[in-house]
Structure formats: structure tokens, C-alpha cells
Amino acid sequence: MSSFKETMKKITSNPVYVKWLKDAWPYLTGAILLSLFQIVTLATTYNPWGVTGPYTNWGAWIFELFGGSVDKWYYFSSEGMQRTLENGFLADGGSVRNVGLILGALLAVLFASQFKIKKIKSKKQVVAAVLGGLLMGYGARIAYGCNIGALYSGIASLSLSGWVFGIFLFLGAIVGSKLLVKYFM
Amino acid sequence: MKEVMLDCFGEACPIPLVKAQNKMKEMDIGDILIVSIDHSCAMKNLPDWARGEGHNVEVEETGDGEWEVIIEKVK
């Protein structure tokens, strides 16, 4: 027992562990890695990196599980979209990548031993989370992308729309922060 | 000199930061504010803000995914 504790102590105080797994990486490192991997994504899948698009497919698949059909929905009506839905989860690169995103985040937090199931403090938090999720999901579809697909990949593709999206994201964040301080403090 | 505890467990950014900013306004020079957080981004923006204001700051890991940000008001 004590030798296990000693081993753990040796690991957690090891400078390599602290630098690579415990402490957060600098923003610059993250930025460079994100840039590299989005280039790899574009080069291998011929699609820019996106996150909420595949989630929309998850929604369609769940809806179909319950016997619904999205064939007539404008968003899913294109041939390409229909094919993506037909081919299923594992054939949808974006969906698999999103699972990787969640598992990667879990792995990182476990390596740093910072995993914690947080308590819900108030009903207000639940309302805010549900409302925020709905608004973000709805907004991301209406704008044909989220802060990754529309902003990040938009700008990376030298598209003006990414910058326009960014300006309004910024304005929305100002309004959102004011509302947050007013109703949540 | 007094010590003020601020429980921000379960609160996501930027609420811990705004709560700490409001609390600091009520405090006197030399007082110490201890903010309990379990949101890792508050571990960055809270000390960044306090250091920028010129206060003394220390961050302590108190458990798995739990930290205390200790701020001494110096001005």
C-alpha cells in the first residue's frame, strides 16, 4: 500500500508528468496543434473541420430510432446528406471525430487527475444549460456552422463569412455576458 | 485582517471571476479572499485578473478537480 503511494508520488512529482499531463499547455501550443490537425482534416476528408454538423446527424439518427423520418426536412434533403445518414454513424468521419473529442477530453482530465462530477447548484443552472444548449444548437444550424465550422474553418478557408460570423459572435458574447451578470449573479 | 471564503463549486466561467471581483470590492486592504473552484478555466482567469490588479495570488490544488485561489488584497 505504502509502496503504491510512493510510486504515485514519484509519478505526480515527475517534471515530465507535470509538464505534459498535469499542467495546461500554453495557448500557443494548442493553437499550433489545432492548426496542424485542421489541415490534416481538410487534406484527408476534403471537408473543413466542424463539430456541430455531425451532432445534427446524431439528432436525426436518434429521431429515426424512435420511428421518425427526416427525409422531407430541408436541411437533410440533399443527396449527400441522405447518403451520410444512410451510411450510418461509423462511416461519418465527423461523428467519429466528435467521439474522439469527448474521449480525448476525458483522457486528458483523467491523466491530470482532475475528474470531478460537479453538483448542480440550482434550478437556474439547469434552465440556463438547457436554454443555452438549445440556442447554440439552433443558432449553429441557422448559421450553417458553429464557432468551429463557421468561424474557425471559415477564416482558415479565407472566407469572408468567417469574419462576419466572428464579429457577431463577439457582439452576442457582450449581450450574453450582460444578461449573465444580471440574472445569474 | 479577515479571511473571506467564497464557494464557487459548480459554477462555470465567468461566474467565479465576477463573484470574486464583487467580493473584493467589499473587502479592506490586507484581507484575504479564498475562492473554492472546480472549473479549471477559473484557475486561469481568476489569478490572471487578480495579478493584473496587483494583488498577491496563490493557487492550491485541494482535491481532484478542485482548487483554492487565495487572493490577498494589497491595494
Q: Using the beta-carbon criterion (under 8 Å), do B65 and A120 form an inter-chain contact?
A: no
- A116 → closest Cβ in B22, B44, B66: B66
Q: 3-state DSSP call for residue A76?
A: helix
pLDDT (tens digit per residue) in A111-161: 999 999 998 988 988 998 999 999 999 999 999 999 999 999 999 999 999
Is residue A174 within 8 angstroms of chain B, CB to CB? no
Mean pLDDT along residues B40-58 = 94
Polymer length in residues for chain B: 75
Interface test with B, best of A27, A116, A181 (most B CBs within 10 A): A116
Is residue A182 within 8 angstroms of chain B, CB to CB? no
Interface test with A, best of B6, B8, B11, B60 (most A CBs within 10 A): B11
Contacting residues of A for B66, CB less than 8 Å apart: 116
Q: Could you tell me what percent of chain A has a pLDDT over 70?
A: 99
pLDDT (tens digit per residue) in B7-45: 999 998 889 999 999 999 999 999 999 999 999 889 999
- Calpha distance A53→A161 (Å, rounded): 17
pLDDT (tens digit per residue) in A60-85: 999 999 999 999 999 999 999 999 99
Contacting residues of A for B18, CB less than 8 Å apart: 181, 185
pLDDT band, very low/low/confident/very high, at A185 (cuts 50, 70, 90): confident
Q: Report the mean per-residue pLDDT for chain A.
A: 93
pLDDT surpassing 70 at residue A1: no
Give the CA count within 13 Å in the CB-facing half-sphere of A176.
Answer: 14
Mean pLDDT along residues B56-72 = 95
- Calpha distance B73→B53 (Å, rounded): 9
Instruction: Let me know: does B64 contact B35? Beta carbons within 8 Å.
Output: no
pLDDT (tens digit per residue) in A3-19: 888 998 898 899 999 99
Residue A164 makes CB contacts below 8 A (sequence gap 6+) with none
* Gap from B23 CA to chain A (nearest CA, Å): 12
Q: Using the beta-carbon criterion (under 8 Å), do A185 and B10 form an inter-chain contact?
A: no
What's the pLDDT at A135?
93
**Exposed, middle or buried: residue A137 (CB in 10 Å: 0-12, 13-18, 19+)?**
middle
